[in-house]
Amino acid sequence: MALNIEQSLIKARELSETGKSDEARMLLLEVLQQDKNHQTALLMLGGSYFCSEKFQEAEMVFERLVLMEPGNGKFSIALFNSLWKQGRTDEAVEEIRRFLAVADRVKEIETVNQYVAITKEIAAGQ
C-alpha cells in the first residue's frame, strides 16, 4: 500500500514538534523510499538531522538537494550551515562561492545578501 505522502509529511512534522525526531526521520525515510527525490521530505530530513546535531548526516542530505537544484538558496544555506557547524570553514566558504556563481541573483536576492554579510563577517575575523 502506497503512503499518502502529504499526510506522512504532516505527521512527520507533528512528531518532530513533539520531540519524536527519530520517529519523524523514520517516516521521512519511508516517504523517500516511495519518492527518492521528494524535496520537501529531504529538506525536513536534513533539518531534523541538523537540529539533532547530526551534522554529517545533514550535510549528505543537503548535498543531495544542492545537486538536484544548484541555484536554490535555501539548500545552499543549509549545506553551508552543516559544513560550518562541523568546523569545515573552507568548504563552507567554497559553498558560498559555488552558490554565488550559479545563483539567479534576482530570484535569490535574499540568499545572496545573506552570503555577502557572511563573507564580510568571515573576512573581518581573519
State the Rg of the chain over Cα.
16
CA pair distance 27, 3, nearest whole angstrom:
10
Rounded Cα–Cα distance for residues 95 and 97 (Å): 5
Would you call 10 helix, strand, or coil by DSSP? helix
The set of cell numbers assigned to 69 is: 537544484
Domain segments of the chain as ranges: 1-52, 55-126
Q: Please give the model's pTM, rounded to 2 decimal places.
A: 0.87
CATH class for the region spanning 55-126: mainly alpha
Kindly state the average pLDDT of the residues 8-21.
96
> Residue 51 pLDDT more than 90?
yes
